[in-house]
Amino acid sequence: MATAASRLSHLLGEGAAPPYWAFCWGGGLVLVEHLSRDPDCVRGRRVLDFGAGSGVVAIAAALAGASHVRACEIDPVGRVAISLNSAANGVAVDVIPPDRAADAVSDIDLMLAGDTFYDATVAAAATAFFARCVERSVSVLVGDPGRAHLPHGRLSEIARYPVRDFAASPGAAAGEGVVYAFGRLEDGGNPHHVAV
């Protein structure tokens, strides 16, 4: 994470700005909170953390008892950070680039996705990918603090928790994050509930 003690400069070079994955985003934090309160949702399951950032959600899944955890991250330095963070937490996480995510779907039971709807283009791609996963009987849990591009017609609320998003001003009260099950679009736009 982007703190003075993190030694991120060893990965990024002196003077480099901390990357997006070096902060805890609200969607990831709400998933971590959910896994800590309801570890049964991942225990014994094969999990993929999609858009893993620094691996916080993947690590939480492993600590909650997932049988196998993969983390998919686009940034190669982020993938190194996931490996380092996993080792520091004493858990095994297989780290993969995005071009292997589609192949990994055949070997997972549950996809976890924190903060994948912050941008219209990214949100459209994530929605299409998650829809394909659901069609292949993979459960998808989404964590989000209320980003603008949520596909509400496909989401069923599972839980909500107070979280502090990385963009919150110092001293501001914690906001709220929501954990959703991502499902199929059905009559009237109501999502089909996904077993989690």
Handedness of CA 16, 93, 72, 159 (dihedral sign): negative
Render pLDDT for 107-160 as a digit per residue (tens, 0 to 9). Answer: 999 999 998 998 999 999 999 999 999 999 999 999 999 888 999 999 999 999
Render pLDDT for 10-57 as a digit per residue (tens, 0 to 9). Answer: 566 666 666 666 667 789 999 999 999 999 999 999 999 999 999 999
What is the set of domains in the chain, with CATH numbers? Answer: 23-189 (3.40.50.150)
How far apart CA 134 and CA 192 sit, in angstroms, is 10
How far apart CA 192 and CA 182 sit, in angstroms, is 8
What does pTM read for this prediction? Answer: 0.83
pLDDT at 194 over 90: no
**What is the identity of the amino acid at 166?**
F
Beta bridge partners of 160: 178
Task: With beta carbons less than 8 A apart as the criterion, state whether 114 and 27 touch.
Answer: yes
How far apart CA 18 and CA 133 sit, in angstroms, is 32
